[in-house]
Amino acid sequence: MKVAKFGGSSMAHEEQFKKVKSIILAAPERSVIVVSALGKRTKEDDKVTDLLYLIHAYLHHGVDWTPLWERICERFIQVRDVLSLTFPIEDELLEIQKKLQREKVSQDFLVSRGEYLTAKLLAEYVGYTFIDAKELIFFDYTGEIDEERTKQAIITIYQEKGPLVVPGFYGANPVGKEKLMGRGGSDITGAILAKLLNADCYENWTDVSGIMMADPRIIDTPKIIKEISFRELREMAYMGANVLHESAIFPVQEAGIPIQIKNTNDPEAQGTRISSKEVEKENGLTGIAGKKDFLSLTLFKRHMSDEIGFIWKAMSVFANHGISIEHIPSGIDNIGVVVSAEAIADQLFLITKELKENLGVEEVEIIENLALISVVGGPHKELIGLSGKVLSILNQLEIRTSILSQGAQELNLIIGVKNEEYETVVKGLYEGMVNVDVSKTSHGVTSNS
């Protein structure tokens, strides 16, 4: 069986419901369906979830929330009517409205109504049983999902009732009240249910045909990554690629269940498969990701490399100030520490002072406005030419890199350039690498396209 999760854009209006229905009914193994709340119909439109958060804030500040509420009601009623469903949604809406009028509504209850009502409508439309997430996903007192209890519930309900539609994004707290997950939480609901039901696959239906090889704001229609391993995905996501929520990946990764990203608006497109399998890519390249606004401190001390524990002591200074270290490119008697510029801003002076006074660091060179670009490759351990290609592209672009580091697992190559050169470098790398067969330069290593 498969767990299929449909995001807000897939559920934005009645026409999207029709596409979702045909996707579900085309494959009976898609038997647990998780939905987000009605999303944006156009770029300028609002997500129902955002409107619900706003209503809660208005209520709190005594602002008239009724126009927003009416917009929400109209949207749900329109879906129900156009699809000729019989669900008496007005009664549910009235119940919620009464709670709002009594000002007795918790944010978690109110905001979760988006998913709740969307799932009710879809369940009737596809003829599957609706199950309130409150009866299925349980949180413990620490705010973590109680997997044992949740597992018992989902297995029993699934066996008894057959195919289900479940609202994503919330569950029940230990006293049985609605509890929201973080934004984008429907992905987590889907992942948890896939894990606990030991699904063959977790399908994540959205409005793009998969994970792109580079940021579409920089590259015009980048290619889609057909297969990516969890480890490569983590590299891409960490360096800023917009992929699934980390917490939505972990449960399925742990259970060895693949994720398939699919496009509701183009169901025939292959999409991206995320699994534990490391597949060697054409040209050795999985994708390019990156982020701006880092700061690098280069610490220099004579004979640093002979001093046992120096790196540990230096790292402790950053840790004591609560600064997370992103990268540590090192030389012989110098070491670079790359951190988020924003995170260190208030403490830079103090940290530099401590490094000099307590650790005897002689010089601290600071590079600001640094962007990091990660060239993520699959298992390219034996592939010759990837780093050479990256460097020759930088050379052609006449751009110098202040950082060049290859992760120990050889999954990525990270380069540091100036913030203002970031887009140029990403474009240059993409154009120079995506259509070029680096494997030709390797000795006997073939791509498995």
| Binding annotation | 5-8, 49, 115, 206-207, 217
- Min dist. Cβ of residue 269 to ligand ASP (A): 21
Q: Looking at this protein, which amino acid is placed at residue 7?
A: G
Q: Tell which one of 163, 167, 168, 290 touches ligand ASP (CB under 6 A).
A: 168
Q: Is residue 428 at the binding interface for ligand ASP, with CB under 6 A as the rule?
A: no
Q: Looking at this protein, which amino acid is placed at residue 438?
A: V
Query: Both tokens of residue 429?
Result: 């790398």
Which CB atom, from 121 or from 355, has the smaller least distance to ligand ASP? 121
- Min dist. Cβ of residue 184 to ligand ASP (A): 4
Interface with ligand ASP by CB under 6 A: which range of 183-191, 267-275, 295-303, 340-348?
183-191
* x/- track of binding to ligand ASP for residues 217-236 (CB under 6 A): --------------------
Q: Is residue 113 at the binding interface for ligand ASP, with CB under 6 A as the rule?
A: no
Q: Tell which one of 71, 147, 184, 402 touches ligand ASP (CB under 6 A).
A: 184
253-258 contacts, C-beta under 8 A, 24 or more apart: 254/195, 255/194, 255/195, 255/198, 257/194, 257/195, 257/198, 257/199, 257/200, 257/201, 257/202, 258/201, 258/202
Site residues for ligand ASP, 45-74, by CB under 6 A, read 47, 49
Annotation: binding site for substrate? 49, 115
Backbone angles phi, psi at 369, to 5 degrees: 50, 50
Q: Are 294 and 339 in contact (CB under 8 A)?
A: yes
Site residues for ligand ASP, 233-292, by CB under 6 A, read none
- Min dist. Cβ of residue 187 to ligand ASP (A): 6
Q: Is residue 400 at the binding interface for ligand ASP, with CB under 6 A as the rule?
A: no
Q: Is residue 204 at the binding interface for ligand ASP, with CB under 6 A as the rule?
A: no
- Min dist. Cβ of residue 357 to ligand ASP (A): 47
Q: Is residue 75 at the binding interface for ligand ASP, with CB under 6 A as the rule?
A: no
Which CB atom, from 7 or from 336, has the smaller least distance to ligand ASP? 7
Which CB atom, from 30 or from 47, has the smaller least distance to ligand ASP? 47
Give the separation between CA 295 and CA 345, rounded to whole angstroms.
9
- Min dist. Cβ of residue 377 to ligand ASP (A): 31
Cα–Cα distances in Å, from 165 out to 77, 416, 447? 19, 46, 41
Interface with ligand ASP by CB under 6 A: which range of 127-135, 154-162, 185-193, 403-411?
185-193
The torsion region of residue 370 among left (phi > 0), alpha (psi -120 to 50) and beta comes to beta
- Min dist. Cβ of residue 53 to ligand ASP (A): 9
Q: Are 419 and 292 in contact (CB under 8 A)?
A: yes
Q: Coil, strand or helix: which one is 295?
A: strand
Interacting residues of 392 by C-beta distance below 8 A, sequence separation 6+: none
Q: Is residue 186 at the binding interface for ligand ASP, with CB under 6 A as the rule?
A: yes
Interface with ligand ASP by CB under 6 A: which range of 184-192, 270-278, 334-342, 381-389?
184-192
- Min dist. Cβ of residue 73 to ligand ASP (A): 17
Which CB atom, from 244 or from 348, has the smaller least distance to ligand ASP? 244
Handedness of CA 63, 64, 65, 68 (dihedral sign): negative
Give the separation between CA 397 and CA 376, rounded to whole angstroms.
20
3-state helix, strand, coil in the chain (%, to 5): 45, 20, 35
Query: Both tokens of residue 395?
Result: 């050379």
Rg (CA), the chain: 25
- How many other C-beta atoms lie within 10 A of the C-beta of residue 268? 8
- Min dist. Cβ of residue 224 to ligand ASP (A): 22
Give the separation between CA 426 and CA 320, rounded to whole angstroms.
35
Q: Tell which one of 177, 183, 302, 353 touches ligand ASP (CB under 6 A).
A: 183
* Size of site (CB under 6 A) for ligand ASP: 14
Q: Is residue 381 at the binding interface for ligand ASP, with CB under 6 A as the rule?
A: no
Q: Are 405 and 331 in contact (CB under 8 A)?
A: no
* x/- track of binding to ligand ASP for residues 28-47 (CB under 6 A): --------xx---------x
Tell me which residues touch ligand ASP (CB under 6 A): 7-8, 36-37, 47, 49, 114, 168-169, 183-187
